[in-house]
Amino acid sequence: MRGTYHFWTASDDVLEGGRNFNVWHKVVPSKIYVFAWRLLHNRIPTKINLLWRKVLHHNDTMCVGGCGCPETAVHLFLACDIFGSTWSFLWCWLGIDFVPSIVFGGHFDQFSRLAGMPRYTHSFFRVIWLASVWVIWKE
């Protein structure tokens, strides 16, 4: 278990401008933070990724939400009118004003370290972000 914790928190994989993202949290099941790690590295099976791997035909790449856009991870989780709108409901529920990044790494970093919030809340917001992306994916 100690090796797993070290792997997730001290990974050599660098994302977006030299940032490492710590998605590990003790209250989150491993399948969720593995999914989040894959999401931050654009390794989830979206239709565009499946097209790139020659699993799908180019006619089958539209978003499952029916909005007519190609299904990329950024579109599906952040920009889609159906699934991306989840974030605005979440911010209203939390009672915070938030201008999201359109890049996953920035979105995760912004959400888990909300400016003006006490440092001890960062862990809670990270868990909320992880749960939200997992629920969007499962839907």
Residue spans of the domains in the chain: they are: 27-138
What is the three-class DSSP state of 18?
Answer: coil
pLDDT of res. 76: 92
Give per-residue pLDDT as tens, 88-104. 899 889 888 877 788 87
Q: 19 forms bridges with which residues in the sheet?
A: 15
pLDDT at residue 39 greater than cutoff 60: yes
Give per-residue pLDDT as tens, 44-73. 999 998 999 889 888 889 998 888 899 999
Q: Would you say the C-alpha torsion 47, 70, 72, 83 has a positive or negative sign?
A: negative
Q: Is the pTM of this model over 0.85?
A: no
Give the DSSP letter of residue 66. Answer: S
Give per-residue pLDDT as tens, 108-131. 888 877 767 787 888 888 889 899
Give per-residue pLDDT as tens, 12-31. 444 444 455 666 677 889 89
Phi/psi at 69 (5° precision): -100, 155
Q: For residue 138, give the H/E element and its range.
A: helix 122-138
Buried b or exposed e, range 49-64, using 16+ CB within 10 angstroms? bebeeeebeeeebebe
Query: How far is C-alpha 60 from the chain's CA centre?
Result: 23
What is the three-class DSSP state of 41?
Answer: coil
Distance CA 86, CA 96 (A): 14
